């Protein structure tokens, strides 16, 4: 069973969204599980404090390496990566979520205050992961985002495997592909009833029943949207395309 262990000073924030909808159901079915470890339980003083002032001075408080290490060591690691949620980390993306989902689970260390003593990261081989170029007040929401992204990829969590394939960022695993199969595209626009909403109609092609035309329209829209909003995703395309052409020419 895929398992997330979450190290935090705010265990009361969990499960939160992790117990809703498909994730909650999958947890009930024993597909995945999580547990929280309260970092304050590893405090060495009666106030439950786990932080101290930064060496070298400056504002804020830093979470202590010795206390965090005791908490980390209390967890049965089971080959799971230790991930410190951190704005300095490698950006969370679909490829990373897929890798993590394939493994046995993860251990998430949620920072607070100014973050954690660097030596903890080194001594326990923590991988730093960021959910974006902004700074949160704590790692808990970031851990939830990461875990949610992973769990929905575990087989059996989402109803239809199709809904996994045809969406943004899923190009490289049976997912929605651009004309060039190496391209990653953002998702095309979606519509449902009513047919006319405040004078706006569902694009007629989607009601035509012509599946080939629909697929073409969706691909064109996905390309248009990706080009307009995230040209960086397409920019990586031509290099890989060139390589592929070369291979085919041999
Ligand atoms: N002083 C730190 C920020 C600390 S924010 C710095 O400038 O890098 C407090 C905690 O919130 C961090 O320890 C981290 O666990 C979490 N956090 C903040 N922003 C995050 C992000 N973008 N991704 C993942 N975790 C984040």
201-249, pLDDT tens digit by residue?
Answer: 999 999 999 999 999 999 999 999 999 999 998 875 544 444 444 434 3
Return the H-helix or E-strand segment holding 96: helix 94-102
Two structure tokens written together for 74: 């209390």
Q: What is the dihedral sign for C-alpha 204, 209, 210, 212? A: positive
Quickly state the pLDDT bin for 28 (edges 50, 70, 90): very high
Residue 84: pLDDT over 90: yes
Return the H-helix or E-strand segment holding 237: helix 237-249
- Ligand 1 probe mutation, 136, 140, 141, 143, most atoms within 8 A of CB: 136
Shortest-distance Cα residue to atom 4 of ligand 1: 114
pLDDT at 173: 43
Ligand 1 centroid – CA 216 distance (Å): 42
CA dihedral 53, 57, 62, 64 (to 10 degrees): -70
Note the pLDDT tens digit of each residue in 94-143: 999 999 999 999 999 999 999 999 999 999 999 999 999 999 999 999 99
Ligand 1 centroid – CA 139 distance (Å): 6
Distance of CA 160 to the CA centre of its chain: 20
CA dihedral 242, 232, 171, 107 (to 10 degrees): 120
Enumerate domains of the chain plus CATH numbers: 2-151 (3.40.1280.10), 162-243 (1.10.1270.20)
Q: What is the average per-residue pLDDT within 17-39?
A: 97
With a 6 Å cutoff on the Cβ, whether 131 touches ligand 1 is yes
Helical H segments across 76-206, by residue range: 94-102, 118-123, 140-151, 161-165
Q: What is the average per-residue pLDDT within 53-71?
A: 98
Phi, psi of 120 (to 5 degrees): -65, -45
Shortest-distance Cα residue to atom 18 of ligand 1: 136
Quickly state the pLDDT bin for 25 (edges 50, 70, 90): very high
- 3-state secondary structure (DSSP) of residue 82: strand
Strand order in the sheet with 127-130: 32-38, 2-8, 105-110, 82-91, 127-130
Shortest-distance Cα residue to atom 16 of ligand 1: 139
pLDDT averaged over every residue in the chain = 90
Q: What is the average per-residue pLDDT within 10-31?
A: 97
* C-alpha–C-alpha distance, residues 109 and 69, integer Å: 11
Ligand 1 centroid – CA 126 distance (Å): 14
Residue 188: pLDDT over 50: yes
Residue 179: pLDDT over 80: no
pLDDT cut 90: percent of the chain above it: 82
Ligand 1 centroid – CA 206 distance (Å): 43
- Ligand 1 probe mutation, 10, 135, 138, most atoms within 8 A of CB: 135
Quickly state the pLDDT bin for 164 (edges 50, 70, 90): low
pLDDT at 177: 46
Burial class (CB in 10 A: 0-12, 13-18, 19+), 14: buried
For the chain, the first-to-last Cα distance in angstroms comes to 45
* C-alpha–C-alpha distance, residues 178 and 19, integer Å: 34
pLDDT at 245: 40
- φ/ψ bin of 112: left (φ > 0), alpha (ψ from -120 to 50), beta (otherwise): beta
Residue 135 makes CB contacts below 8 A (sequence gap 6+) with 87
Residue 169 makes CB contacts below 8 A (sequence gap 6+) with 93, 94, 175, 184, 186
pLDDT at 183: 61
pLDDT at 167: 74
């Amino acid at each position: 069973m895929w398992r997330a262990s979450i190290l935090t000073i705010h265990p009361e924030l969990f499960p939160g969204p992790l117990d809703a909808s498909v994730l909650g159901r999958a947890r009930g079915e024993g597909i995945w599980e999580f547990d929280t470890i309260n970092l304050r339980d590893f405090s060495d003083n009666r106030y439950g404090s786990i932080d101290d002032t930064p060496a070298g001075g400056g504002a804020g408080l830093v979470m202590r390496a010795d206390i965090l290490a005791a908490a980390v060591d209390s967890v049965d690691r089971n080959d799971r990566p230790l991930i410190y949620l951190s704005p300095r980390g490698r950006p969370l993306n679909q490829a990373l979520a897929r890798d993590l989902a394939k493994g046995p689970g993860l251990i998430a260390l949620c920072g607070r205050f100014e973050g954690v003593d660097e030596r903890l990261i080194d001594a326990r081989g923590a991988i730093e992961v960021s959910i974006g170029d902004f700074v949160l007040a704590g790692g808990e929401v970031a851990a939830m985002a990461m875990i949610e992204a992973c769990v929905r990829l575990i087989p059996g969590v989402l109803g239809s495997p199709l809904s996994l394939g045809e969406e943004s960022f899923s190009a490289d695993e049976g997912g929605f592909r651009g004309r060039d199969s190496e391209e990653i595209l953002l998702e095309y626009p979606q519509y449902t009833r009513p047919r006319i909403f405040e004078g706006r109609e569902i694009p007629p092609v989607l009601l035509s029943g012509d599946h080939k035309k629909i697929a073409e329209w969706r691909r064109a829209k996905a390309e248009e949207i990706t080009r307009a909003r995230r040209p960086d995703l397409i920019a990586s395309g031509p290099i890989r395309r060139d390589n592929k052409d070369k291979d085919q020419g041999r």
